[in-house]
Amino acid sequence: MEASDGPAIVIDTEPQDFEENSGDVVVGENGDSEIPPEALAAVDELKEEMENIVLETPKIDFIPTQLTEEFPLTYKDNDNKERLVLAYAENFRLQYVHLYRDRKPLFLNPVNECGTEKFVCTTIRPTLLPFHELYNFDGCAELVADYITFDGLDPPIELPKTMVSPATVLKRQRGNSFEMSTLLCSLLLGAGYDAYVVCGYATREVTQCDETRDVCPLLKKKDEVKAEEEKKEVKKYSVKPPKDLRSKFILNQEKRKEEEREKEIKEKKNEEKAKQEELEKPPPDDLFGLRVHSWVLILAGKREVPENFFIEPLTGNSFATTHDSFLGIESIWNNTNYWLNMQDCSNGCKDLVFDLGDCVRWEFMFPSNEKPILEIPDLDDDGLDAFDEDEDDVEKHLDMPPRGGDLSLTLKEYQTRCPQGKKSVLYKRAKLEKCAHYLNRDGLITKLSIYHDKDLKDLIQVKEWFSNRSDQLDLRVTNHRTGLVTEHYKQGRPRHLKEQTYKAISPGPESERTQIFYNQARVDGLTRRDETPLEMTEHFTDRDDFLYYRQVVFGRRQKKLEPSGSLPSSNPRPIVRIVERFQRNRKVPADEDVAERMFLISEDRIQLTFHHQDGKITASVREFIKPPNANDKGAILTYSPDMTSTFQVDPHKKPAKITAV
């Protein structure tokens, strides 16, 4: 007879002794008992209430028989070793029920998609998929969170009756928290991590995958690494700094006032933050601490993991083991063993010690050498008995049946990620939309909408990420308050544009626009360009001619008869002035090194201003006048001394010849 899922209920059929006056039964003259009418009425009422009770058997989602033929035989039947493992697990469960009657039942051997009972450890299939992003834990977590659609437990306080295999979860792209955790643990074990599936309890928001009160991960500020200031070496014979003649009392008073002002500002911000958190606090949960959930635990050690942490498979986020969202742990397991938590979880998971070799804190199911058992040394033992043991006398323990990885994903399935290629997640005052690569014609893969209110009605900003575009567009940020659009480009774009900002209402020419370039990839060293309808300013760096600034001023457009709908380029604005500025060239004398070159086109003049000489407060200036026949194509240009004028700072220096000028 197979063992039941719960403790056996024994019904005692032996007659019991009652005292003579123990009841209110009336005995008649013939010795027959007469039941009072009140008792009969109560019995009839109880029968009517019991008839209204409807018992529903739990629905178990099995695959139809005609569809199970495509599954391997291991899905539909257990071999001898698996049956032995199931018997071992059943024995462990019976001992657990007998010793801990007040604890919830263990999640040991649910049925799979073919209706076959399987031990949870044998369901895990360590697999390393051929994608380099899946060699890290964050890539595996992101894949499971995006690829699988979450199905909540019903009811949320009971363990699931079935748990399908990870391969079927990948095929269906649907699963509950236990199935998603098993899939994630399989990928992490294949990548070399010390990963475990956790069965425990979590908050309502975690079990329902509700992130509306969490900040979007794309909006979290990264910790800024403060660079340590290098201490200046004080030389022995260096000049001493001037003496500080300021009053130390006044300086201390100013410092104290500044600290008090900063303290008040900080307290005010904390009060506002506390009020905001109180307003946004979720309503109380009647099932707090009872909601069953499953997630993944990664222990430190393998893959150079510095400390233990949790991974939530529903969202792909990582949490510390002391996070408030996880309220307790019943058991954990991997592909080799099963551990029962013996520690107090009244304070959540904050006080738990994840030393699986400690039998006091973690009760194991199968003895193994994977996690060394902590033993108290015997003072009377000299430790020499270990050398007397024969190698053949080592006790052999039951281990898990070998299971190879049967998980697979094609390149198309991996790139599609989300079911039907799209997924939307609601965060605190934000909405995140993910799309598969090559799904949209414009290459959009991620869209983040930021709102001012929690109802997601007052839109502030939209961030759009793109991929595989010919123009190398990577990110577009649209500010709906200012109307500005900022586009970021990867390297490889023509003209090596890196970033540009313009107004959404006037994206065309002759509008306000700021452009930033990859100056190292450009021949002219252009770094930045600012445009307005009447002006253009350019900044350069690392040029051989030392040019670092250029300004072009435009005039009003001349009125001409043009057809309707003609482009502004057909009638361009005239250039009024061009100003160029140069850095100092130490190889050339200052009075011969041009600092500013100004082309006064409207006045037909060119003005050169040279760099200041050492100890001089004025600079030399030279001016040229455009020849009158400069616009004639066939004319011969001739220069005369009247066409140039010079202001020379050093009056004793011999003026330059006209040919040199």
**Per-position DSSP letters for 376-430, written without gaps between them:** PPPTT--S-GGGGS-GGGPPP---PPP--------HHHHHH-SGGGEEEEEETTE
- Given a cut of 60, is residue 432 above it in pLDDT? yes
Peptide bond into 155 cis (omega under 30): yes
Burial track 115-150 (b if 16+ CB lie within 10 A, e otherwise): eeebbbbbbbbbbbbeeeebeebebbbbbbbbbbeb
Q: Give residues with Cβ within 8 angstroms of 287, minimum separation 6.
A: 156, 157, 204
For residues 565 and 338, give the distance between their C-alpha atoms in angstroms, rounded to a whole number.
76
Q: Give residues with Cβ within 8 angstroms of 432, minimum separation 6.
A: 216, 218, 424, 425, 426, 446, 447, 448
Quote the pLDDT of residue 648: 83
Quote the pLDDT of residue 510: 81
Quote the pLDDT of residue 565: 59
Q: Among 591, 122, 506, 569, which residue's Cα sits nearest to residue 334?
A: 122
- Residue for token pair 């990963």: 195
Of the given ranges (222-226, 269-273, 356-360, 429-433), which has the lowest mean pLDDT? 222-226
The residue ranking higher by pLDDT, 70 or 372, is 70
Q: Name the strand (E) or helix (H) holding 251.
A: helix 248-279
- Given a cut of 90, is residue 446 above it in pLDDT? yes
Quote the pLDDT of residue 245: 86
Of the given ranges (24-28, 323-327, 406-410, 650-654), which has the lowest mean pLDDT? 24-28
* Average pLDDT over every residue of 428-449: 93
- Given a cut of 70, is residue 227 above it in pLDDT? no
For residues 593 and 588, give the distance between their C-alpha atoms in angstroms, rounded to a whole number.
6
**pLDDT tens figures, 307-365:** 999 999 999 999 999 999 999 999 999 999 999 999 999 999 999 999 998 889 999 99
Q: Name the strand (E) or helix (H) holding 96.
A: helix 80-99
- Given a cut of 60, is residue 4 above it in pLDDT? no
User: pLDDT confidence of 604, banded at 50, 70, 90?
Assistant: confident
User: pLDDT confidence of 146, banded at 50, 70, 90?
Assistant: very high
Share of the chain above pLDDT 90, in %: 53
For residues 184 and 134, give the distance between their C-alpha atoms in angstroms, rounded to a whole number.
11
The residue ranking higher by pLDDT, 33 or 345, is 345
Q: Among 353, 345, 315, which residue's Cα sits nearest to residue 328?
A: 345
Is residue 67 classed as helix, strand or coil in its secondary structure?
helix
Quote the pLDDT of residue 563: 65
Quote the pLDDT of residue 170: 92
The residue ranking higher by pLDDT, 381 or 496, is 496
* Average pLDDT over every residue of 517-526: 93
- Residue for token pair 């329902």: 208
Judge whether 562 and 570 are in contact, CB under 8 Å: yes
Other CB atoms within a 10 A radius of the CB of residue 504 amount to 12
- Given a cut of 80, is residue 609 above it in pLDDT? yes
Cβ-in-10-Å burial (0-12, 13-18, 19+) of 327 comes to: buried
Domain with residues 65-214+286-364, CATH architecture: Roll (3.10)
- Domain ranges (residues) in the chain: 65-214+286-364
- Residue for token pair 């052999």: 396
∠ CA 436-438-442, nearest 5°, is 105
The overall average pLDDT reported for the chain is 83
> How many residues make up the chain in this entry?
661
For residues 515 and 509, give the distance between their C-alpha atoms in angstroms, rounded to a whole number.
13
DSSP code for 64: P
**pLDDT tens figures, 170-215:** 999 999 999 999 999 999 999 999 999 999 999 999 999 999 989 9
Helices (H), 102-229: 120-123, 137-147, 166-172, 177-190, 204-207
Of the given ranges (136-150, 392-406, 535-549), which has the lowest mean pLDDT? 392-406
The structure tokens listed for 318 are 């990582």
Quote the pLDDT of residue 567: 59
User: pLDDT confidence of 373, banded at 50, 70, 90?
Assistant: low
3-state helix, strand and coil shares in percent for the chain, rounded to the nearest 5: 25, 25, 55
- Residue for token pair 């500010």: 479
Residue by residue, DSSP assigns 288-309 as TTT-EEEEEEE-SSGGG--S-E
- Rounded to two decimals, the pTM is 0.74
Q: Among 324, 302, 321, which residue's Cα sits nearest to residue 311?
A: 321
User: pLDDT confidence of 1, banded at 50, 70, 90?
Assistant: very low
For residues 477 and 448, give the distance between their C-alpha atoms in angstroms, rounded to a whole number.
9
Q: Give residues with Cβ within 8 angstroms of 530, minimum separation 6.
A: 513, 514, 515, 536, 537, 538
User: pLDDT confidence of 561, banded at 50, 70, 90?
Assistant: low
Strand order in the sheet with 292-298: 318-320, 309-311, 292-298, 195-202, 326-333, 338-341, 362-364
Is residue 318 classed as helix, strand or coil in its secondary structure?
strand
- For CA atoms 207, 209, 213, 214, give the dihedral sign: positive
For residues 69 and 480, give the distance between their C-alpha atoms in angstroms, rounded to a whole number.
56
The residue ranking higher by pLDDT, 76 or 162, is 162
**Highest-scoring range by mean pLDDT, 68-72, 477-481, 630-634:** 477-481
The structure tokens listed for 300 are 């430190």
Burial track 9-19 (b if 16+ CB lie within 10 A, e otherwise): eeeeeeeeeee
Other CB atoms within a 10 A radius of the CB of residue 581 amount to 18
Other CB atoms within a 10 A radius of the CB of residue 278 amount to 8
Taking each helix axis from N to C terminus, what angle separates 177-190 and 137-147, rounded to the nearest 10 degrees?
150
